[in-house]
């Protein structure tokens, strides 16, 4: 067969299609439970217990926001950034670097300023945090419960570019609401500043030495 054997690709596509189908059916069943909204209101008015759940948008935050009718909370600060925010933040960081290189003969920026707003972080589940991590060359490490416990530095061999220094400006709401994230960022920058790496490939270390 001069076209080659593509049976493996077909099997992968079939598996992906089945997974999407199962996810779609799950969403349909969860949406059918919207009658639980009235049940939740009645339970609350009677002084009963309404189960908690994360609030948010189905497309942005996934099926964890369904079914509706539960006692929603904004987020868990110990699960930042979310998987969706991490994916979006990486793409945004890549675009920032690409545009800078296009305008500066391929050179990487040494420092980029990122503002960490509290309300924006709540809305996006930590997209700006993800941008900071991606620029520095780090990734969130989660424990078994899904909580983020560390921002791990990606080896330069894997990163394939210099670590970009980030000037992070924090709003008061962010500082007060995400103290755990501030601690993790502080630890990450400190480790990056003393990493056994060339300052030419680690602008955080370069600026500390300057």
Task: State pLDDT tens for residues 55-82.
Answer: 777 876 678 788 889 998 777 889 899 8
State the average pLDDT over residues 94-109: 97
**Whole-angstrom Cα distance, residue 60 to residue 62?**
6
**Cβ neighbours of residue 99 closer than 8 Å, sequence gap 6 or more:** none
Take residue 165 and report the two structure tokens written for it: 């220094």
Q: What was the pLDDT predicted at 2?
A: 43
Range list of H helices, the chain: 7-31, 36-45, 58-61, 83-103, 118-124, 127-136, 156-159, 172-177, 179-193, 203-209
Q: What was the pLDDT predicted at 96?
A: 98
Task: Give the pLDDT band (50/70/90) at residue 3.
Answer: very low
pLDDT at 177 over 70: yes
**Cβ neighbours of residue 29 closer than 8 Å, sequence gap 6 or more:** none
Axis crossing angle, helix 127-136 with helix 179-193, rounded to the nearest 10: 10
The pLDDT mean for the chain works out to 91
Phi, psi of 163 (to 5 degrees): -75, 130
Give first-to-last CA distance, the chain, whole Å.
62
Output DSSP code: residue 149. Answer: E
**Whole-angstrom Cα distance, residue 71 to residue 65?**
11
**Whole-angstrom Cα distance, residue 192 to residue 166?**
12
Output DSSP code: residue 55. Answer: -
State the average pLDDT over residues 91-99: 98
Q: What was the pLDDT predicted at 196?
A: 97
pLDDT at 93 over 60: yes
**Cβ neighbours of residue 178 closer than 8 Å, sequence gap 6 or more:** 77, 80, 116, 118, 121
Q: What was the pLDDT predicted at 11?
A: 67
Task: Give the pLDDT band (50/70/90) at residue 1.
Answer: very low
Give CA angle at 103 (99, 109), nearest 5°.
70
Structure-token match 């920032």, residue found? 96
**Whole-angstrom Cα distance, residue 112 to residue 195?**
20
């Amino acid at each position: 067969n001069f076209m080659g054997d593509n049976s493996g690709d077909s099997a992968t596509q079939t598996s992906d299609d089945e997974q999407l189908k199962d996810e779609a059916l799950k969403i349909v069943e969860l949406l059918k439970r919207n009658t639980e909204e009235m049940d939740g209101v009645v339970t609350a008015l009677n002084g009963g217990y309404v189960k908690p759940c994360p609030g948010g948008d189905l497309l942005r935050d996934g099926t964890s926001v369904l079914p509706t009718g539960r006692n929603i909370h904004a987020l868990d600060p110990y699960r930042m950034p979310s998987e969706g925010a991490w994916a979006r933040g990486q793409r945004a960081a890549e675009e920032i670097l690409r545009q800078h290189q296009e305008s500066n003969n391929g050179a990487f920026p040494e420092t980029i300023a990122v503002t960490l707003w509290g309300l924006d972080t709540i809305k996006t589940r930590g997209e700006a945090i993800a941008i900071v991590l991606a620029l520095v060359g780090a990734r969130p490490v989660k424990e078994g419960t899904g909580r983020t416990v560390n921002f791990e530095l990606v080896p330069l061999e894997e990163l394939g570019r210099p670590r970009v220094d980030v000037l992070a400006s924090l709003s008061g709401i962010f500082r007060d609401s995400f103290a755990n994230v501030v601690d993790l960022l502080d630890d990450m920058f400190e480790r990056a500043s003393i990493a056994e790496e060339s300052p030419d490939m680690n602008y955080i270390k370069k600026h500390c030495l300057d």
